[in-house]
Amino acid sequence: MSEQKRIKVMLVDDHAVVRSGLSAFLMVYPDLELVGEAESGEDAVAKVGLLQPDVILMDLVMPGMDGVATTLAIRKRYPSIQIVALTSYKDENLVQGALQAGAIGYLLKNVSATELASAIRSAAARRMTLSSEAAQALVQATTQTVPVGEGLTEREYEVLKLLVDGLNNSEIAARLYVSTSTVKFHIANIFSKLGVDNRVAAVTLALQRKLV
């Protein structure tokens, strides 16, 4: 790898101990270079333009702007930067949310160093890597028979019901334990799938078609 370009990696995690451990891990591999860290989604969005990493290891569950919303924001602004979700959770909604937001990989934090290094290299080469748990979560999600209507995911269906109930973004975020940025992301998807451009139209259509 001496003649090849090193892969620039950025860490995003709200736990300093996790960032320290990942930093030490990266130092072991000569083809991987740590170019910076961020302790929150907001911090990551502010720093990414300056650091210009090739790959970001993204925690998903963080206070404030969570990993899904951060992934979406960064991928929209810097589509060449690849993001690998690295989390302790294998929730179906998290897996789907991360991939829909543009993550190219989804790994659990109990992954081995060798597997993580391989995932970083795959991401840099635009190849997807999913942990077996994440892949299973996707399989379960696609085989569920829950009626969601109009192609909405379960989480989008939940958000739509709360829209019908008259809750605002902050109230929906509090009810579902997600960030307001994530709520906005789900609402944008709902509008797109229902073919509407505002809340009133979405609620009206949901009631007319008895989606809720």
pLDDT tens, position by position, for the chain (212 residues)? Answer: 445 689 999 999 999 999 999 999 999 999 999 999 999 999 999 999 999 999 999 999 998 899 999 999 999 999 999 999 999 988 878 888 888 888 999 999 999 999 999 999 999 999 888 888 888 777 666 555 444 455 888 899 999 999 988 899 999 999 999 999 999 999 999 988 888 888 887 888 888 788 87
- Is the same domain home to 117 and 27? yes
Number of domains in the chain: 2
- Is the same domain home to 125 and 71? yes
- Is the same domain home to 30 and 110? yes
Q: By C-alpha distance, which of 166, 169, 109 is closest to 133?
A: 109
Burial-class residue 200 by CB neighbours within 10 Å (0-12, 13-18, 19+): exposed
**Cross-strand partners of 55:** 9, 82
Which ranges of the chain would DSSP assign to H, the alpha helix?
16-27, 41-51, 67-77, 92-101, 113-124, 132-143, 154-164, 169-176, 180-194, 199-208
Q: What range defines the domain where residue 130 resides?
A: 7-140
Identify whether 71 is part of a domain.
Answer: yes
- Is the same domain home to 129 and 49? yes
Q: Read off the pTM.
A: 0.67
